[in-house]
Chain A
Amino acid sequence: MLDGILLGLSTALQWQNLLYVIAGCFVGTFIGMLPGLGPITAIALMIPITYSIDPSSGMILMAGVYYGAIFGGSTSSILINAPGVAGTVASSFDGYPLAKQGMAGKALAIAAWASFTGGTIGALLLMLAAPTLAKVSLSFQSADYVALMCLGLTAIAAFSNKGTFLKAMMMTVFGLTLSTVGIDPSSGTERFTFGNTDLLDGISFLLIAMSTFALAEALSNVLKPEVKQSAGEQPMQIGSIRLSKAEVKEISPAIGRSSILGFIIGVLPGAGATIASFMAYAAERNLAPKALQEKFGKGSLRGLAAPESANNAACTGSFVPLLTLGIPGSGTTAIMLGALIAYGIQPGPMLMQDNPDVFWAVIISMYLGNIVLLILNLPLIPYLARVLIMPKAILTMMILFFSLIGVYLVSFNTFDLFMMIGFALVALVLRLLAFPMAPLLLGFILGDMIESNFRRAMMTSDGSLSIFWDKPLTLGIMLLAIVVLAMPLLSFLRLRKAAI
């Protein structure tokens, strides 16, 4: 492992990679601050740029953007009570009241330190967990992968917002169906191309990501403005970013506990930063003495530190299934998986052996990203926060332009752009109908892998489905997927019974 860490350090500390991680953190913070735009959009906008650089640098840039976007989301949560992403909603519960009390700088400093500690503990646990899990997963066969992917798909739906389980499942299947467009790689049969040669290669993942996130989010902000602060209004004064010893003492245990909790939740497919931050917030409120409990929601330092450290640790944790099994557990890691596949790199148990530079550079760059956020971004927050007063017209048009031209520069095919506009319209309608987008992306990216692994499994078993319950490991994962799938249905039936 030490060799790996040294290799990762030597790759991540190359001057151009350091520049990428710094640039990524800044761009991510900038985009993450914009209400309505989250890390998925930030990363999607970066993908066309990463195609022109080597895979390690590309992944380093994207990791920087990811952390920057999470930090940026916290900033807009604290300053204007408009969380950029769901993962930072819990940060606004106490962050915004603190800012209203004139302690915005302190709240941002707590967010940065908590994120840094959460990210650091997460990165350390990732260094320990990933190689071990990668070794174990070397024994996995095609049927196990199919089972794991089914678990990943059902988990992201099951952990979606309350009451949206069936919607998430429909979106997952929608994503899976889109992955079947084009020539079937196994037989060469055309599927759902309707005689259109532009569809023979299938639909590109970049197109789906850009249209369902970047374009649809920008258009959704035009259609349904959610920004609580009107354009042109000055964000509040930042104030001092210094923390006293007593304050550090108060938040430290909460940060430690929440980081570990966040990492564990992040590893679980589908759970992610949102659940981690809410659980950490709830846990800290319950653990706090009665007097401190009453401060929660009114500007509690612990109430801000807990979700911040948990969401950063969960972001790091979500890389464990991606790097070791090749299975993304969230929309953000799904988009990174798509980018890796586009580079010709298949994440999974062999990644550590075949591309150790990428594997370790990603892990090390996560840590560097956290340092950059703390040292460079935090002092620059008053200046970066000016993005919040940028005119909406300029912002929207820039996102539309970069999304369209980003896809065009990769494919040089205007048919892709027409298709992208069509998908953006569909995504916009689905957003209005409160359908979650991440399951669509996950289904689309996992679709090809599920099909190829399913076929391989069926070939090894001579067409017998028993391969999915013959081995205890496969059976166990399958049963877990069924339990996860059945949980929301059972709770719905229980609620109905109670209502009667």
Chain B
Amino acid sequence: MLNRDTLGALIFLAFFTAYAVFAWQIPLLPFEEMDAVNSASIPKVYAVLGLMFSLLALLAQAIKRQHSSGDGWPQINRRSIGQTAVLLLLMWVYTALLEPIGFLLATSVFLSAGFFIMGERRWRVLLLASVPVAVVFWLIVTKLLGIYLVPGELWS
């Protein structure tokens, strides 16, 4: 089974390989072609360095494995994974709704839904810890700091 260091090195190897492919495709402007350093030079150096370090990490893992075992994976329960995934999804939905429905409504829904996901079930707490926060923050930003916050494209 893959240990987490090997997996990490493989992820970076894949990333730096893709980066290298794109780095070698950076279109150069005509005046750049004769330059000692052009817009593609530094990305190419980074790509080579990245590939070198990720290959070295894989090699180090191969050598280590001959002498020791153990994968060192952190213990995480399924509930925590689910909560984290739903929180990420909630952030995505909040971002998508922020401009269409406006700051106040989106933030109130985001915070109360977040508290609910985190295990809070008392409706009074859900409302009191979300709506006032959104309103106070909105007042500070718009009235005190004079920053315009979109009221919601759907309503305006």
Interface residues of A (CB under 8 A from B): 52, 166-167, 169-170, 173-174, 176-177, 180, 184, 186-192, 219, 222-225, 391-394, 396-398, 400-401, 404-405, 408-409, 414, 417-418, 421, 424-425, 428-430, 432-435, 450-451, 454-455, 458-459, 462-463, 492, 496, 499
Contact = CB atoms under 8 A, between A and B. Distances in A.
Given A401-B110, A458-B37, A393 B76 contact: no
A454 B95 contact: no
Nearest to B4: A433
Interface string B21-38: 010001111011001111
Given A180-B46, A409-B147, A222 B107 contact: no
A187 B53 contact: no
7 contacts: A176-B49, A400-B114, A401-B114, A414-B96, A450-B42, A463-B35, A499-B67
A168 to B, nearest CB: 9
A433 B57 CA distance: 13
Contacts of A224: 74, 76, 80
A109 B56 CA distance: 47
A187 B42 contact: no
A187 B39 contact: yes
Given A222-B84, A393-B120, A191 B15 contact: no
Nearest to A451: B42
A177 B46 contact: yes
A189 B26 contact: yes
B10 to A, nearest CB: 10
A174 B26 contact: no
Contacts of B141: 409
B7 A189 contact: no
Given A191-B39, A421-B92, 6 more contacts: A173-B50, A176-B46, A176-B49, A222-B80, A429-B11, A458-B36
A330 B155 CA distance: 47
Chief secondary structure at chain B's binding surface: helix
Given A187-B39, A433-B7, A192 B74 contact: no
Contacts of A463: 35-37
B98 interface: yes
Contacts of A462: 36
Contact of B43 (A188, A191, A222, A434): A191
Contacts of B26: 189, 191
B114 A393 contact: yes
